[in-house]
Chains A and B, each alone.
Chain A
């Protein structure tokens, strides 16, 4: 897509460096939520609770993802960061500045330091590409010469210089979003909010836009908050992730960790929807027909080397273990592997292998799940990317899953 033009950051005139805080207060996190709740009043009744008791910290320089199903409160959460919404209670701080108490007028200079990218791009159809990118600079009071210079730089950065004088209607979705990103970067923000920025795009364009966001983060050092319902967006871009469920934070952690060991059932569903290396219902049926005598285990880990150690353990115990399904997913920094293993042999040895393999998995920050009994129905894992309710071995009563990793939770 883009060339390798680097975007220099010349100091833009008439920018109050204070407000959202350039360096100086580097101790405070980029964004901090403490006990934030948001209730939308209803005509009658108690109102709709969009967020409840949210505590989050976005660190400087990271790509932080917020994932959740529609209605989980993601959009509200991101709008609290630039004050488009106000918290009902709690405190939202941006670079150490408590923004929940500011007036609309006081918020304006802070918003100029926070870029925002939208699902529907939200470009002005009445303005050319140049006009759109220059708009936030006009708002910030940047003079004409500096504006033109900055717009040219940004067009180079997103690789769309040849589209300068076109109108948004003449651009493809991916091009529109790259212009949306250029516009969001115009006033040199320290923080970029991306609200479902790839949800309206096809897979190929999605990866282009995500690559651009990673570049923004890496080359310009801009902290990014990515809101998405797609786990593959989280996997390929984010450093850390918060899983939102019904307005509450279900889980926060390093992306790989959450993929390897999701602790909340919502996170598990999201992970399963994305990690396609796990067999779906059809595949399970096929596996059981092909290997009637085998028992199965599901091995997930950020460490692909775990597989060979687990296979070796089988050989040592005299029970042959083979990979019947699986693969490796790529993350922003590293991999995540998921393999379905088939094992055949006398029960004591098999049980011994499961317990040994569980230990090995735990050491490698991974997880081994023993799958027993026939699985049937209800699985949408294979094609699902929307976080539909998809579990592999439950919900008909005919299957059961033993957790051999010592985690006591029910897999639902």
Chain B
């Protein structure tokens, strides 16, 4: 294939990757945030400490997280089929992507929220603030800088996941590299795909760093 034919395919691939990454970060980001907050506040000594709830959530996260993504895609096939009507293509890929991202993000959120000084939470309690208010106006704002860096890290991980998903035909830059590069011994195509991903990651990391710096004021 000539590059005249390949460029349009490459363009579509980039759009597909961006679509998958955006949808995953949005849905997985919100769900992961909720799950991460729940993991944090139910810890022993937490704002809404509950050993039972914490154990259930903790075990659930530990079950889903270690599953290699390429296997997770096929393992949740029935769920994907039920939700999107297909198991092939970009939209179908979003289901396992969101699932994996949610559980991954929850740990990153938890890690960052537990670093918030317990004293600051106690101060808010001593002022008569409710747990939901404390979560929304103390816990999350106090951890905002590290959270932004965490989400930037997740962005890179999600780009990686979409490329892996390329192996099972979901579209995107990963599949472009596999179908037109790897399988046709066309090194140049692979390198273009790699370059595209590097540019994407650089932009994301740069933006994330800037935002985090603003939030941390340093």
> Footprint of B on A, CB under 8 Å?
82, 84, 105, 107-112, 114, 116, 118, 120, 122-127, 135-136, 138-140, 167, 169, 183, 187, 193
Contacts and interface: CB of A to CB of B under 8 A. Distances in A.
Interface residues of B, number: 20
Given A111-B127, A111-B128, A122 B141 contact: no
Given A116-B123, A116-B126, 17 more contacts: A108-B129, A114-B126, A116-B127, A118-B123, A122-B117, A122-B119, A122-B120, A124-B120, A125-B142, A126-B141, A126-B142, A135-B137, A136-B127, A136-B128, A138-B137, A139-B129, A140-B127
B157 interface: no
B130 A124 contact: no
B144 interface: yes
Contact of A111 (B126, B137, B217): B126
Contact of B217 (A82, A114, A167): A167
B125 interface: yes
Contacts of A109: 128
13 contacts: A108-B129, A108-B130, A110-B128, A111-B125, A112-B128, A118-B119, A122-B120, A124-B138, A126-B144, A136-B128, A167-B217, A169-B217, A183-B123
A199 to B, nearest CB: 13
A55 to B, nearest CB: 24
Contacts, number: 61
B184 interface: no
Interface in B124-162: 124-130, 133, 137-138, 141-142, 144
B128 A122 contact: no
A139 B128 CA distance: 7
Query: Sorted from nearest, which 9 A-B pairs have the closest CB atoms?
Result: A111-B128, A122-B123, A108-B128, A122-B119, A136-B127, A112-B128, A116-B126, A126-B141, A139-B129
A139 B120 contact: no
Contacts of B125: 84, 111
A124 B137 CA distance: 10
Contacts of A114: 126
B217 to A, nearest CB: 6
Contacts of B128: 107-112, 136, 139-140
Contacts of A107: 128
A379 B119 CA distance: 36
B124 A135 contact: yes
Contacts of B124: 135, 139
A144 to B, nearest CB: 15
Nearest to A105: B130
Nearest to A116: B126
B127 A120 contact: no
Nearest to B130: A108
Nearest to A186: B127
A108 B124 CA distance: 11
Nearest to A119: B119
B127 A84 contact: no
B126 A82 contact: yes
Contact of A120 (B119, B138, B215): B119
A75 to B, nearest CB: 11
Contacts of A187: 127
Contacts of B130: 105, 108
Contacts of B119: 118, 120, 122
Given A139-B133, A167-B217, A123 B126 contact: no
A59 to B, nearest CB: 22
A80 to B, nearest CB: 12
B81 to A, nearest CB: 44
A127 B133 contact: no
Residue with the greatest number of chain B CB neighbours at <10 A, chosen from A105, A122, A126, A167: A126
A135 B144 contact: no
B141 A139 contact: no
A84 B122 contact: yes
A120 B217 contact: no
Residue with the greatest number of chain A CB neighbours at <10 A, chosen from B119, B123, B124: B123
A118 B117 CA distance: 12
A168 to B, nearest CB: 10
Contacts of B126: 82, 84, 111, 114, 116, 193
Contacts of A126: 141-142, 144, 215
Nearest to B144: A126
A97 to B, nearest CB: 14
A337 B52 CA distance: 59
B163 to A, nearest CB: 35
Contacts of B123: 116, 118, 122-123, 183
Interface string B63-103: 00000000000000000000000000000000000000000
A338 B128 CA distance: 46
Contacts of A136: 127-128
B141 A127 contact: yes
Contacts of B117: 120, 122
Interface string B36-69: 0000000000000000000000000000000000
Contacts of A127: 141
A187 B215 CA distance: 28
Contacts of B129: 108, 139
Contacts of A123: 120, 123
B142 A124 contact: yes
A123 B141 CA distance: 13
Contacts of A183: 123
Nearest to A137: B127
A125 B120 CA distance: 9
A116 B144 CA distance: 26
A135 B121 CA distance: 12
